[in-house]
Structure formats: C-alpha cells, structure tokens
Structure 1
Amino acid sequence: MKVLVLSASPRREGNSWALAQSLAKGAEEAGHTIDFVQLSDYVEAPLGDCRSCRLSDRSCGIADDYERLLFDHVLPADAIVYATPLHFYGMTGRLKSFFDRFFCYTSASSPHTGEVVPGLMHKRAAVLISCEESYRGATLGLEAQFQELTRYLRQDLAGVVVGIGNSRGEVERDPARPLEAAADLGRRLGDAHVTDYRLDTDRSNRVWGPSVEA
C-alpha cells in the first residue's frame, strides 16, 4: 500500500512525529511505501465562506497548497495515518482545517466532487496521539471524533495509539511503549482486524477464526 503519514503538529520532530516515524518504520517492514507530509507545509487557512471565496469556475479560492496536498498525496494514498498532539482535548487546529476543507471539494457546487468523493473513501486509517496527561479520558473525545470521521468517509480505522509525553522526544520514555505499539500498527496496517457489527450482521462466535491445534 501507499501510506500517507500526516504530521499535524506545529512543532517539528516532537512526540507525535516520533510516533509517526515508528509507525512508518513498521509499515516499511511490511512492504508498504511511505509518503510523509508535514501539514504545516500545505495548510495555512481555515475553511471560509464558500459563497464568497469560490473562484469563477466554482473551485476553491483559498490561496495555500491544500489542493496540491489533496490531489498529489491524499487521493492517491491507500492508507492515511493522522498524527497529532492533543490540543485542548482535540486535534490541532491545522488538522481540523484539513478535514473542514474537504467541504470545498465534496459539496455539490464543487467541480471536483466526482473525483474527490470516491477518492477519499475505502482507505485504511490509523491515528497517533501524543498527550501529556495519562488520564484515560483526556483523549477519548478525540478518539471518538476520529471514529466518526472515518465512518463518515468510509475509511477503516485500523487502530489508535496514544503516547504520553510533553518535552520533545519524551514519548520514548512512556512505560506503555507507544513507539513499539505504533510500529506494530504500521506492520499490521494493511490487514488489522476491523469490525463494525450491526444487530443483523452474519458472524460466527469466533473473532479470530477457527482455533489452531498445537
């Protein structure tokens, strides 16, 4: 697979970046190719009022490199890794703008809808969160938001890794070993077990298939 890693931190080479590097290493070990993007190199502005800032051909008029990010990196990817520090119990503002601005390219008034909508769907996804609080509830809201975002985009959320740390690189000292967990998720990114049952879903009583006799 082609794996796009979106590093959403305004601080380069911080803890979420370390998690992203570990996942990328695991994914490369599994034979995947990595496309690593620093979101701050592409996204400068938040979503505006499309009624006032669309160009004459109805395309987005916000003057940064978001469109290049979308068409050159996001749409060609088979999997997307979202790496973000926890900012006020949510994702970074720039990453939120990344999602908000999908609207400019998926609404009925956009000339790109026919290409972008199917291009965003049916990808594998993973989330990496760095956080200075070990309180479990600190990241639950953000994890739930990613569950809904990937559900809406019809992306399979393969896993979430949370690493605790504040100073640059401190996540390496987290006794829960999140860097190892991120690398493992990278190795399993293509085939991690993703289920989303409904009441009428056909399924056996075994999660991992038939038992294997020793």
Structure 2
Amino acid sequence: MKAMVLSSSPRRDGNSAALARAFAEGLRDAGHESEIVVANDILGSFLKDCRSCRRPDGSCAIEDGFSSAFFESLLPAQGFVAASPIYWYGMSAQLKAFFDRMFCYVAASHPSSPSVVARMQGKRIGLLLSSEETYPTVSAGIVQQIQEYSRYTRSTFVGTVHGYGNSRGEIARDPRDPVARAYDFARSFFTAHATDYQIDTPRSGRVWG
C-alpha cells in the first residue's frame, strides 16, 4: 500500500514536519510505501476563479507543482495523511489551499473529472497536528473538517496524532511522545479498525469478532 504524507507547515524543520517524517518512517517499516510532499514546494497560488482562468481545453491554468502532486502522488495512493500546525484554531493556509485546489479537477468542467472523482474515493485518511496550546478542543475545527472531507469522498478517517510544542523540534520533549505515536500510528494505518456508522449500516453485535 502507499500513502502520501503532506507536510503543510512553512517550517521544514518544524514540529508537524517531525510528525510527518515519523509517520513516513513507520509506514515504510510496516512494509508500505510512503511519500512526503512539502506543500510549499508544490503550491504557488491559491485557487482562482476557474470560469475565468481555466484553459480552453478545460485544464487548470495555474502553473505550479500541484497538478503533478495531485495526479502522481495523491490519486494513486491508498492513503492520505495531512500534517499541519494549528494556526488560529484551524489548519495551515497551505493545507487549506491544497484541498481547495482539488476543486479544479473535480468540477465537471475539467476533462478528467469523472476519473478524478472515482480515484479520490475510498482512501484511508490520517491527521498529524502540532500546537503550542494544549486546550482539549484546540484541534476541533481541523478534525471536523477532515471528518467531513473523509465522508464526502467516501473515505475512512483512521485517526489523529496531536503533539504540543512551539519552537522547532520541541515536540520531541512532549512527555506523551507524539513522535513515537505518529510512528506507531503509521504501522497500523492500513489495518486499524475504523468505523463511521450510518443508521442502515450492516453490522454484527460485536466489535471484536
């Protein structure tokens, strides 16, 4: 299996980047393939008005690395993991832009829209977060958005690792050891039990059969 790990912090040596590296290592040690993509390397622009900037053939006119990362890294992968610092109680602007830019390829006006929509579905989704603040709901907004993205794309939200730190690398001093937890999270990422029941979901009377 393969997972794309998007490191969305503007700090290459920051705390969420450390979680991304630990996750990628854990995934590889579990026998899977992982690829870390740094958002700053591929995003040169926010989403624009597709009606005014799309090329005549329907392709996206924004020339940066997003298209390559989207088609060559995200779509072929069975898993997607986002690593982000918490800024103003939300995800980084880079991570939000990554999600927003998907619209250009999902919209019916894009020539590959049907295949893109099909390939975006059914992935395993994970979230790696870092913040200075330890208040219990500091990550609630981001977790909710990832939950909704997962449900919208018929994907499985596996879980979250959240570590605390401010200065670069300080997350390693968090006594809960989030770096080790990110590594362990990756080891079971493709096999961990994860459910999102709806009222008509067929299920047995036991969780652990």
Q: TM-score, normalised by structure 1?
A: 0.94
Structure-2 separation of matches of 1:202 and 1:51:
42
Structure-2 separation of matches of 1:22 and 1:205:
36
Paired amino acid for 1:47:
L
Percent identical pairs in the alignment equals: 48
Specify whether residues 201 and 71 from structure 1 end up closer, same or farther in structure 2 by C-alpha distance, changes over 3 A only: closer
Specify whether residues 192 and 114 from structure 1 end up closer, same or farther in structure 2 by C-alpha distance, changes over 3 A only: same
What SS does structure 1 have at the residue aligned with 2:21? helix
Paired amino acid for 1:41:
D
Structure 2 contact 44–64 (Cα < 8 Å) conserved: yes
After superposition, the CA RMSD in angstroms is 1.1
Which residue does 1:199 correspond to in 2?
A: 199
Unpaired segments of 5 or more residues in structure 1? 210-214
Map Cα deviations across residues 45-103 of structure 1 (whole Å, 9 max, x no partner): 11111111001111111121111111111111111110011111111111111111111
Which residue does 1:40 correspond to in 2?
A: 40
Which residue does 1:212 correspond to in 2?
A: none
What SS does structure 1 have at the residue aligned with 2:19? helix
Structure 2 contact 15–171 (Cα < 8 Å) conserved: yes
Larger Rg: 1
Which residue does 1:151 correspond to in 2?
A: 151
Q: CA deviation at 1:198?
A: 2.1
What SS does structure 2 have at the residue aligned with 1:36? strand
1:52 aligns with 2:52: yes
Which residue does 1:25 correspond to in 2?
A: 25
1:14 aligns with 2:14: yes
Structure 1 contact 80–125 (Cα < 8 Å) conserved: yes
Shift >6 Å, 4+ stretches: none
Map Cα deviations across residues 144-164 of structure 1 (whole Å, 9 max, x no partner): 111001111122111111010
1:100 aligns with 2:64: no
Structure-2 separation of matches of 1:93 and 1:109:
26
Q: CA deviation at 1:119?
A: 1.3
Structure 2 contact 78–123 (Cα < 8 Å) conserved: yes
Q: TM-score, normalised by structure 2?
A: 0.96
Q: CA deviation at 1:114?
A: 2.1
Structure-1 separation of matches of 2:199 and 2:50:
40
